[in-house]
Chain A
Amino acid sequence: MRIADVLFRQGHLSDETLTAVLLDGDRPAHLNRCDRCSGRLRELGRWLDDLRSEALAAADEAFPPERLALQQAQILRRLEQLDEPSRVIAFPAHVAAAPRTDTERRVAPAWVGVAAAAGLVMGLIGGQVWATLEPQRPAPPAVQADQPETMTPPGQPVNAELLDYDFERHVPDPLVFFDEITPALTQGQYAAR
Chain B
Amino acid sequence: MTEQDQTPVSAREADARVAIDIRAFQAEGRHDAARERYGELVARYQRRAVRIAYHYLRNAADADEAVQDAFIKAYMHIGTFREDLPFEVWFTRILINGCLDRIKARRRRERWLAPPMLDAAGVERDPAEYVPSRGPSPEDLVLADERHNRLMDAVAELPERQRMVFMLSHIDGRTSREVSAMTGLNESTVRVHLFRAIRRLRGLLVAPTVKGTVAGRSKRANR
Contact = CB atoms under 8 A, between A and B. Distances in A.
Interface of A: 15-16, 19-20, 23, 44, 47-48, 51-52, 54-56, 58-63, 67-68, 71-72, 74-76, 78-80, 82-84
A54 B155 CA distance: 12
Interface residues of B, number: 43
18 contacts: A19-B194, A19-B198, A47-B202, A55-B55, A55-B151, A56-B171, A58-B55, A61-B121, A62-B122, A63-B51, A63-B63, A63-B64, A67-B64, A68-B47, A76-B39, A76-B42, A82-B72, A84-B31
Contact of B43 (A20, A72, A80): A72
A165 B198 CA distance: 97
B152 interface: yes
Interface centre among A54, A72, A79 (most CB of B within 10 A): A79
A13 to B, nearest CB: 14
Contacts of A76: 35, 39, 42
B147 interface: yes
Contacts, number: 96
Contacts of A72: 39, 42-43, 46
A76 B39 CA distance: 7
Contact of A68 (B46, B121, B205, B206): B46
Interface string B28-71: 00010011001100110011001100110000100110011001
- The 10 closest A-B CB pairs, nearest first, are A83-B31, A59-B51, A62-B60, A59-B54, A63-B50, A58-B148, A55-B171, A75-B71, A62-B121, A79-B35
A23 B35 contact: no
B75 interface: yes
B63 to A, nearest CB: 8
Dominant SS at the B interface? helix
Interface string B132-146: 000000000000000
Contacts of B121: 61-62
Contacts of A48: 170, 198
A39 to B, nearest CB: 14
A82 B71 contact: no
Contact of B75 (A47, A51, A60, A79): A79
B95 interface: no
B46 A51 contact: no
Contacts of B155: 55
A63 B60 contact: yes
B199 interface: yes
B195 interface: yes
Given A62-B60, A71-B46, A76-B42, A51 B35 contact: no
Given A71-B46, A71-B64, A78-B68, A47 B152 contact: no
Given A59-B55, A60-B51, A71-B67, 11 more contacts: A15-B199, A23-B176, A55-B151, A55-B171, A58-B152, A59-B51, A60-B47, A68-B46, A72-B46, A75-B42, A82-B75
Given A19-B195, A75-B68, A80 B35 contact: yes
A56 B35 contact: no
B190 to A, nearest CB: 10
